[in-house]
Amino acid sequence: MRLPIYNPRPVADRQRERLIKLLSNLLNERLTRLNQNVPPDNIVLSNAEVKELNALIGEISTDRSFFTALSFVDGLAGRIKIGEEQLRELYLSERRRRGYSRAVSSNQWHQFITRLGMHSGDLSTLIRAAAPMPFEHFLRMERRVLSHFKISEDVQEYLLELMARKRQAIEALREQASNFRDLVTDTGVTDLTKAILKQLGEKRDNLSSKQVAGLTIVIVDSTTLFTTRDWSVSGTLSTMAGGLTMIVED
C-alpha cells in the first residue's frame, strides 16, 4: 500500500522560483534540440540567459540559509566534521526559523534520522520511530515537488532518472553516513554547488547537462529541508543525489 504524500510547503521567494524556472528551461531546451547540430551534453547560454542568471546566481551565492542546508547534508554524509549534537541543534533551530515548534525535540530529531535511514547514537530515546523511507516513495515525493515548481514533464523525467541512477550510492550514504560511495571524490555538495555556480557566473558554457541538472535538484530540494519530517528527509536524499549528479565522471 502506498503511503500518502502531503503537498510540499517549500520556502522559496520569487527570485528562487525564477532561478529554478530558468534552469529547468535550459534543461528543457537541451532535451528538445537533440537532433540539432549541437553537442548533446552541453548547454549553451545565450547573452540574455547569462545576464539574468548572473543576477540570480549572485543572490543565491550569498544566501546563508541555502548553504546552511547544504552544510547540514554534508554533515550527515560525513563530508564535513559536525557531531550529531550539532546536527540535531541545526535541524531543530532551522525548523524553528521556518515556524515549526521545538516541542518534543528529541523525538523530532530521532523521527527524522530514523526515517532518513541512519541510526542515532542514543537509540534508547527513539520514541515511535518511523521506518526508513522507501526509495520509491522518495521518488514519488520528488515528482510532487518538481510539479509544484511547474517543471515540464520531460525535465521531471530526466531529473528523476538521474536520481534513480544514484540509488546505490544514496542507499550507502543512508546506511553508513559516510562518503559519496563508489565515486572517487573528497568533495561535498556544498563545494560542488559553489563550483557550478561560479562557472555559470563566469559565463562558461562548458557545463554538462548533468551538472546543471544536479544544481537544479539541489536548489529545488533545499526549499523543503527543515519543513515537515518527510519533506526534510526527501530534501536530504535529493540533495545527496544532486551532489552526486554534479560530479564529473571520467
Judge whether 66 and 84 are in contact, CB under 8 Å: no
State the pLDDT at residue 125.
45
Tell me what pLDDT residue 249 has.
Answer: 65
- What's the pLDDT tens digit per position in 44-68? 557 777 788 889 999 999 999 999 9
Query: Domain segments of the chain: what residues?
Result: 14-81+133-246
pLDDT of residue 193: 95
Contacts of 6 (CB under 8 A, 6+ apart): 228, 230, 231
In whole angstroms, what is the distance from residue 99 CA to residue 104 CA?
15
Compute the radius of gyration of the chain from its Cα atoms: 18
What pLDDT, on the 0 to 100 scale, is given for residue 104? 56
Confidence at residue 61, expressed as pLDDT on a 0 to 100 scale: 94
Give the pLDDT of residue 38.
55
pTM score of the predicted model: 0.87
- The grid coordinates listed for 181 are 560511495
Positions of the chain with pLDDT under 70: 1, 33-45, 102-106, 118-130, 176-186, 203-205, 248-250
